[in-house]
Amino acid sequence: MNRLFVLPGSIRNWSATFLCLFSVFVGSVAVADSSYLINAGDNLRIDVWQEENLRAEVMVSPDGTFSFPIVGTIPAAGKTIDQLQTLLRERLEVYIPGPEVTVSLMTVEGNTIFVIGEVARPGPYMMIKDLDVMQALSMAGGLTPYAAKNDVHILRKDSSGQPLSIKFRYGDVEDGDNLEANIRLQSGDTIIVP
């Protein structure tokens, strides 16, 4: 008889723990969304309240834009969710008085970095949060014994689209000597480990 009462109590405790953890997770996603910059390849859901024909799931195209009914082409890449909502609201206001626009980030498939060369698992990696070089190399399984660890380069395009090569000395950061050199990565960066 006692077992029947113990089991429901443990289930209630487990449920309360689950709900608490779930709310912490949801809260952290909401914070990440507010500062996340949209990239080409990301999928968005757009809803305009009480406008059935103005609901869509869109993918941001390689040129950083997407099309939306009535307003046409919208530039999205490099904007936060809040900035995009404001832009859509302004564009729609010409046609609909006081539109309530909600933009949701469905997937972050455009937020990708690449790690190639002498690492255990080279390839593309999606960034679901801010990453630095050491974290990305860790995701790629670390350096192989043959890696030239002090000759790592990060290839990046600047704001005008010109390629940059940033040198990274793994050994300095690994030893704790030059921690500020642990570069924060941007979407599209390629880490080359010779």
Question: Each residue of 132-163: pLDDT tens digit?
Answer: 999 999 999 999 999 998 999 999 988 777 89
Rounded alpha-carbon distances, angstroms, from residue 121 to 78, 118, 142, 143, 167: 29, 9, 8, 9, 21
Judged by DSSP in three states, 148 sits in: coil
Residue in this structure with the two tokens 């255990």, named with its chain if needed: 120
What is the assigned CATH class of domain 112-193? alpha beta
Domain limits, CATH 3.10.560.10, in the chain: 112-193
Rounded Cα distance between 63 and 41, Å, is 10
Which residue bears the tokens 């029947």?
4
Q: What is the pLDDT of the chain when averaged over all its residues? A: 82
Q: Binning pLDDT at 50, 70 and 90, where does residue 176 land?
A: confident
Separation of alpha carbons 42 and 33, rounded Å: 12
Task: Give me the pLDDT at residue 110, please.
Answer: 79
The CATH code belonging to domain 43-107 is 3.30.1950.10
- Confirm if 136 and 125 have CB atoms less than 8 A apart: yes
Residue intervals of the chain classified under CATH 3.30.1950.10 are 43-107
Q: 130 falls in which pLDDT band (50, 70, 90)?
A: confident
What pLDDT sits at residue 125?
92
pLDDT digits (tens, 9 = 90+) for 29-74: 333 446 788 988 899 999 999 998 999 999 999 899 999 999 999 9
**pLDDT range class, residue 127, cuts 50, 70, 90:** confident
